[in-house]
Structure 1
Amino acid sequence: MQLKSIKFVLPILLLGSQTVFGQLAATKGITREELFKHLNGLFQQNTDAAKNNILKEALFLSKSKKEEDQLLSAQLYEGLEQTDMAETIKKGINKKFPKGITVRNTAFGALFQNTDLTAQQAEDQYKQLLQQYPEGNYEEKSNGVYGYATGAIALQYAREKNLAKVTQYMNALKPRKNYVESNFMVGRELNKQGEFVFVQAMLEPVYTDLTVRKNSAESTSNKDGLPYYGGITLQYAESLMGANALDKALDVLALQQQQLPSEFTTILSLRIRMPPLVRIRMPPLISQKKPLFYSLLFS
């Protein structure tokens, strides 16, 4: 018998910190971390006995009154390739939890997938969703979808060059974990449109903060946005070049080349040194770094 391997990753599941779990119910104070470790161990054993124990856990969780437990139960059945049971549980979740995480994320997903909306239309629909699914009704660690929506609207306003609205939504994003990611995406879009002065002002504090954190011990404890350090640096340098702050752009790129050498850094440095007329005729440098979008949880 082959068991389908499942790796339970806490940030993806985003479940509660404590509850009662199937065959571990007798263990007082069992945590989610301990449950996931136990389940991963069972899947790795790849035996009939392990499968039976997983089924006991899945059955117990499927009877829970918590949406998170039922979602985990469905994942366990999927891991055992019992797709009918998994689908039955998932369908029941929508009826049992009409204001739950699953229904909420499905509604937000429909908004994100509608590419025909203007920024104003997307904003209006987002406000309606906020009334239907207030953020305060959910645990903070399952609320990445709200930051994602805010960033998506900011990006749409950037495409429409509505800088006042971009500023409004970027300010709203400051406490969010996707703040740096959104700066990268919005900055890249506005650089393409030639809004270099705006981008320079927007990215400068972000770039400064990332540089300080990257070169300090804080980078080990606060990693928010650090994967975007290279992308932010290139977009910031692009905006400096567009605003004719060439010496500063070269200084930024020189530091970048020391820390994270890349083809883009070299190309942009050479481009800055070109005669102005040649430089103006060249298209904007667009980093090919793929944005790390927030996943729609439990979609």
Structure 2
Amino acid sequence: MSDVDEQTISPEVDVWVEEVLSACNLKWDGPKTNFERPKKENLRIDGKTPVAEHVDYLRKTLNATYARRSEIEGKAKLDRDLAQQLRYFDQAYVAVDSNIDKAQAGAGRGGANDALKDAVDQLEFMRDALEAAYYSSAKDPEEAFAELRAKIDEAKAELEELGKEKDKIQDDNAREEFQDIFEEAKAGLDQTLKTLEADKFLEAEEELEEAKTVMQDLQPGNSEEIAKRKKQYQTAVEDARKEIKKLAGKVTTLADPQKKLDFDKHKAAANKIMTKVDAALKNGKVKSVRSDIPKLKAEVEKMKACFKEEPKAKAPPKGKAGKK
């Protein structure tokens, strides 16, 4: 098959894509052209180009690249992956800036080569983030916020309907448990709306999912499922008690008074949660302790952390860890 250059096939491909999207009642909102990415620099100390010239070039390039941060920031408010890319972008900026300083400081001692190479590598991470933002599906902020607001309103309406089930419950403990869960879900949805109004789209998305998870416990559950959960919660509490007892036996080994205070604080919090869970399970309020089990496990982990040695200070990471 003979070679066909990109310019020859691009128009045909564009037409085909438009036809396919049109047939599916879809429209391409992405970029019409490819991202213009500068070629990766190859800066070497070869005796021809002064280090100062490389440093000056990198400084100007870094500032020009960082000036485009808003290209990521705007979309990152609505895109979780881009929010992560924005963090990488900022980390890389700090790393490039630091390596430029190192190159400048090591110019007369032959230590500039590695710093220049690291600076160039980190600059690529910043360009990765800009490229990701360029190809990211463009969302209209007003439309995205309106859609999420509609989902919150829909969840509130659903919650009100579920609330009517309370009148059908005969057992006092079960009715009280239902009311507790209802109030928790309502508070969650109210907080979700406040978060959205504070222009925190991604956080509001997460809070909505959490509130809807709580709402699931307002649905009538079968006895087998409730019994299974009760057993799981009881096991979790017993495991926590055993672990706390074991850790308490080692508390005298804590040399740091602050760690001893932290341990006692988390132990008291764990005991308070276990007392609450025990009482709830005894009264048949299985669903109401759903959120307490993760809290209990978290307190136990914090108690364990009191016995861990503090890691030795390390140099700050350079840009994005684990990058390709």
TM-score after normalising by structure 1:
0.22
Larger Rg: 2
The alignment's TM-score, normalised by the length of structure 2, stands at 0.20
**Looking at both structures, which has the greater relative contact order when contacts are Cα pairs under 8 Å and sequence separation is at least 6?**
2
